[in-house]
Amino acid sequence: MAAAMAERGFEVIGVDISRAAVDAVNCGKAPVHETGLEEMIVRNKSRLRATTSPEDAVLNSDISFAIVPTPSDKRGAFELQYAKYAFRDIGRALKEKDGYHVVVLTSTVLPGATRHGLLPILEKESGKKCGVDFGLCYSPEFIALGSVIRDFLNPDFYLIGQFDEKSGDLLEMVNRKVCLKEPVVRRMTIENAEIAKIALNSFVTMKVSFANILADICERIPGGDVDVVSDALGSDSRIGRKYLTGGMGFAGPCFPRDNVALSFLCKEIGADGSLLLTNDTYNRELAKAFFGKLSSLVRGGETVAVLGLAYKPESHVIEESQGIFLARAFADSGIRVVGYDPLATQGAKQALQDQVIVSEYLAEALQDANVVLITTPDSVFKNLTVKDILGKKEKVTVVDFWRCLSEEVRVHPSINYIGMGRYREELSAQARLHELWA
């Protein structure tokens, strides 16, 4: 966010409690892995600096964005501890500042948290009044790891929850300058924006689950193909094609917890959140169902290669990773498992410990594999050739959860290719349909 804003011409000051992160930015290095980030930091060193001092940042800027973690607590709600620390420091800096300043919370929170949990801290620490001496907005981003910069500069829309018109006006001005196109801006109350953010994420997870149900259906219907069905559904403007690709369950640091958090809110305010709970349960059981389908493909003494240990392509994050779950499940059943991921090697090694061999090289992971599972549609895996997969082996089974491998691989006689979401058991399925309708 800091790098992209600097790219768009703003003078930006980044703040972090981590001295290592601050030093990295000031040296033109990316403190985290993200596509294109380091190059953007280097290009904008003259407009971007970092500090560990919130006071320095607030006193020398007009608008502050708080982008701190809001981890899930035991109830499934979002913890405000780190946001409270940040708002305390911002409030103390505002006390020393002359002139108007806008504070924007970007972290995902539940409805009511900004106004009732965080705003009082700003007013107490600053001794000033919101709407008079400073402004406040809630404005979360809709971005995905691996494509953060692209998503940030080209959003579908900007969501602004404003305390008052003045606060929203300043934030919208910033957004319009940051955006690479003419942006859609939705301005509303802070509470409506809080609802909209978490509701959007939760709705997307239901779309993912529905696509996975379709994939399961298509596997059991002669000629069934989830991509063909999804293309048809996605042509309807009421539905759209995004997130309708049957594959593996939703995972990562946001989708699973946001769904749980919205169901928590429903329970607390007396709304019916049963649909949300059902979706969460279905998704958590999905990897177990996949293991049940695939366990018969592997015999004792064989090796399974799991390609894709991050929760999605172009990411190093393994949180709630379906690939990690499958690797662990096969290892627990006594099968030798070798895992590989282009970016998530270290995190996967820590998560899997001695259960699974996590290889540094793709060729090494494939070398002895009798069964290969493609669990993320990473470009590295899409480009696999027959030679890459077979090596010196006579026969290999490939399970492609995303149906992303080349035609050459899919039809090769020495590769038993299984595209999940496509029909697999023609005779038995024909018999079932005949019995049902004849």
Which residues are designated catalytic? 254
- H/E element holding 411? helix 407-411
Contact in structure between 212 and 243 (CB atoms under 8 Å): no
Compute the distance between CA of residue 194 and CA of residue 209 in angstroms, rounded to an integer: 23
> Could you tell me which of 329, 328, 249 has the C-alpha nearest to residue 286?
249
Say which residue the tokens 């596509």 belong to. 35
Strand, coil or helix: 99: coil
Residue 116: Cβ within 10 Å count: 10
Question: Which amino acid would we find at residue 141?
Answer: E
Instruction: State both tokens at 421.
Output: 């979401």
Strand, coil or helix: 91: helix
Compute the distance between CA of residue 72 and CA of residue 260 in angstroms, rounded to an integer: 9
How many Cα atoms are found within 13 Å in the side-chain-facing hemisphere of 239?
Answer: 17
Strand, coil or helix: 72: strand
Burial of 393 (0-12, 13-18, 19+ CB in 10 A): middle
Q: Which residues on neighbouring strands pair with residue 396, listed in sequence order?
A: 415
The CA–CA distances, whole Å, from 115 to 144, 171, 355, 373 equal 27, 17, 47, 47
